[in-house]
Each structure stands twice: as C-alpha cells, then as structure tokens.
Structure 1
C-alpha cells in the first residue's frame, strides 16, 4: 500500500517561482522571497523551492480551511500508528 493523493494528478501550483509566489497566502509570500534571495544556486535554492512549493500546495488545497477548522476544534479524524500498521499488513496480504 502506498500513500495516494487526495486529488490525484491535480497540480494546482506550477513548479516555478511565480507559481509558488502566486499561490502563497498572506505574509508567507514575503517569507518565501526572503529565503529565495538568500539561497545559493544549486542544492540550497532547489531545497527552498521544494519546501515552499509544498507550502503553496497546502495553501491552495480546496479543503484547507475546513481541515484547519476541524483540527483547531479537535474534531479532525485521527488514527494511531498501530491502526496504520495493521491496515497496511491487511492490504499487503490481499
């Protein structure tokens, strides 16, 4: 069993500086540019872009506000590592 995306094949944010910047909410855009301007070309810059692309994807998730509200209210469904382990074992034997 592997993790499956909630919205398969949906790329809401292009892997570009402009795409990431456009997708970020509020002051996060300024944080992104600050880190971007300090990064060295190569691995460091790639790391900044990868990290902020992930944050931009979260910012554009259509369920983001609902999930955030549920987490703050304590009503977000959770599971234990034991449940995950047993579910994976069951799925691997089928």
Structure 2
C-alpha cells in the first residue's frame, strides 16, 4: 500500500518541501513567526527534527487547496464524518487489517 497525495505534489515535487525555507514559505500569517521562534529555540537533533516535522504538517494544512472549504464546513457542522466501524469495514473489504 502506498500513500498518494490528494492535492498536488509528488514524491519528486512535494507541495511543501520539508525544509526550513519550504515550511516558512507555506505558512500563513503569524504562524510563520511562531515557526521561527520555535526553530530558533530548538537544539540540533531530535528536538529540531520534531519542530520541523510538526510545522511541516501545519504547512501542508495551510497549503491544502480545500482548506477554507473544509474549515467552513467544520465550523458549520456540515463536515462529513466516518465512524471507525466504517473505516475497519472498508479496510477489510480491501483485504487490509
């Protein structure tokens, strides 16, 4: 099983590069300043890796083309939901555990 990007990006050309520059360019508004504040406080190694990983995820959300539509649906209470039973059923149907 492999994960495929839903909106843009490929393994060769991701929507957001997992670099300091890629992440900072993708973040919206004051989130960029918070990213740099955490980045400057992090020690090289696992702590710095953790900051980059966390903020890369946020940058991916900030660049999602459906972000505003999904947020509006969530705030309006119209966001489609799926139960874990449905998730497990679909996985079984696909032969996954």
TM-score (norm 1): 0.88
- Give the equivalent residue in structure 1 for 2:41: 38
Q: CA deviation at 1:5?
A: 3.2
- Give the equivalent residue in structure 2 for 1:53: 56
Instruction: Tell me the distance in 1 between the aligned counterparts of 2:86 and 2:39.
Output: 40
Please state if 1:75 is matched with 2:75: no
Aligned residue pairs total: 93
CA deviation profile, 1:30-82 (whole Å, cap 9, x unmatched): 11011101100011101101110111011001110011101111111101001
Instruction: Tell me the distance in 1 between the aligned counterparts of 2:64 and 2:89.
Output: 29
Instruction: Tell me the distance in 2 between the aligned counterparts of 1:35 and 1:69.
Output: 29
Change (3 A) 1:2 1:77: farther
How much is the aligned-residue C-alpha RMSD, in angstroms?
1.8
Please state if 1:27 is matched with 2:30: yes
TM-score (norm 2): 0.85
Q: Which has the higher contact order (CA 8 A, sep 6+)?
A: 1
Q: Which runs of 5+ in 1 are unaligned?
A: none
Return structure 1 stretches of 4+ with deviation > 6 angstroms: none
For the residue of structure 1 that corresponds to 2:64, the secondary structure is coil
